[in-house]
Chains A and B, each alone.
Chain A
Amino acid sequence: MHLTKQLELFPDHRVTQMLFKDVKNAAELRQSAVKGQISGALINPKMLVNPFQVLVATNKSVHLQKTGKMKTRSLYSEIIFSLSPTNNISEAFKKFGISDGDDSVMVVLVHSRDESQLLSDIAAKVDGLQIPVEDVSLLSDLAKIKKLYKVTPQEEKCGTLLDAVVCRMATKDVM
């Protein structure tokens, strides 16, 4: 169900993504994340096109953490911020973090080895149904994504929506 990937640039870091739908305790989850009781990033899956998008954001965040150049306070908030095409932190949380009324959530964890304990701990906290991470594309709100990332129809002709989104995430700090 979950997807774990080692970061080539940081071989001692692994990223695990877990996707849940029919979530009933989004408000509670968000609260614990804000308090720092959940060691993971809670992302609104409607704004995701593909798990690769999360990998790009996580790789960038780990890199910024290592170089001491993070814009936000923690690695997990940095992942949410890295997903956003703008440099506005509160807007990034609003759009890419989960909101109280949400019924689906993508949980992103960064860990060193295979930590199945960590995964089951998180899964126990979410009151929802875990589904394969690849199914995130079924949840995406394409119209909203295109609007937020300002993807033009002509750009979609020369590449996929994922290409356009990833490009904007990777280059936003110099735009």
Chain B
Amino acid sequence: MAQEKSVAVSDFLSKAELIKQGAEARVYRSEFLGKSAIVKERFPKRYRHPVLDERLTHRRTVQEVRAILRCRRAGISTPVVYFVDYTSHCIFLEEIMGSLTVRDHIASIQQSDSCKEQELEHLAECVGHILAKMHDEDVIHGDLTTSNMLLRHGLEDGESSLVLIDFGLSYISALPEDKGVDLYVLEKAFLSTHPNTETLFDKLLKSYRASSKKSSAVIKKLDEVRLRGRKRSMVG
């Protein structure tokens, strides 16, 4: 019986449009129950022992789904989960229509001659605010980059809203250390993808500090992490 199912999902995915392939998963676009959906498939890793592979993949799928729900409950926009298949480790998610990654948005603003400084600052403040909210819920994203943030154009007010995606490396933790590293990862990614944005990133952190209740410990950790890097020193 278990076999038949895998066939159903793999048959389905073989007809779906592959949009991305990473080391951990493949991402497809397809129709699901009449809606456009994104399917994230964690395929088996042949280089790992099958039992270990199954456990790791299962745990990551569960963690991803949990983090998404936790964020949504706190009012942070993330894609809706439509269906999860724990046998083939596929997550069926809402496709965020008419969206643009924050990365592309910043790049296009920077390219246009009339550099809209204010617009960028507003965006940085929004990001800082959302991340503060997420960390206050003890969700650690694990892979914060500007490519994992989407801008969705609001239907009514015309104001665009931020949607966080790809919780594949996320987990729950209340430790300032983990939150500090989360911000550090973003800082590294942000400054390397977007040149000359140091002041912009400071704006982001300022907004984070203002929005989060537990920010002082986190920022302190961030300063520590900056000196030593993402990995904790095991000396002494």
Q: List A residues at the B interface (Cβ < 8 Å).
A: 5, 7-10, 52, 55-56, 59-60, 63, 66-68, 152, 154-155, 157-159, 163-164, 166-168, 170-171, 173-175
Which residues of B sit under 8 angstroms from A152, Cβ to Cβ?
A: 73, 75
Bin the interface of chain B by size.
Answer: 35 or more
Q: How many angstroms between the C-alpha atoms of A38 and B8 in the bound complex?
A: 28
Confirm or deny: B84 has a beta carbon within 8 angstroms of a beta carbon on chain A: yes
Cβ B69 vs Cβ A5 within 8 A: no
Q: Known contacts A155-B74, A173-B86, A174-B84; can you find 19 more A-B pairs with CB under 8 A?
A: A5-B33, A8-B12, A8-B31, A52-B34, A63-B5, A63-B8, A63-B83, A66-B1, A154-B74, A154-B75, A158-B75, A158-B78, A159-B77, A167-B68, A170-B65, A170-B81, A174-B65, A174-B66, A175-B66
Which applies to chain A's interface (DSSP): helix, strand, loop or mixed?
helix
Q: Does B80 contact A (CB under 8 A)?
A: yes
**Given A56-B83, A66-B4, CB of A9 within 8 Å of CB of B9:** yes
Bound CA span A24–B65, Å: 42
Task: Decide: B81 and A171 in contact? CB cutoff 8 A.
Answer: yes
A55 cross-chain contacts in B, Cβ below 8 A: 33-34
Are A170 and B84 also in contact (CB < 8 A) when A8-B32, A52-B34, A59-B33 are? Answer: yes
Which residues in window 52-97 of B have CB below 8 A to A? 62, 65-66, 68-69, 72-78, 80-87, 92, 94
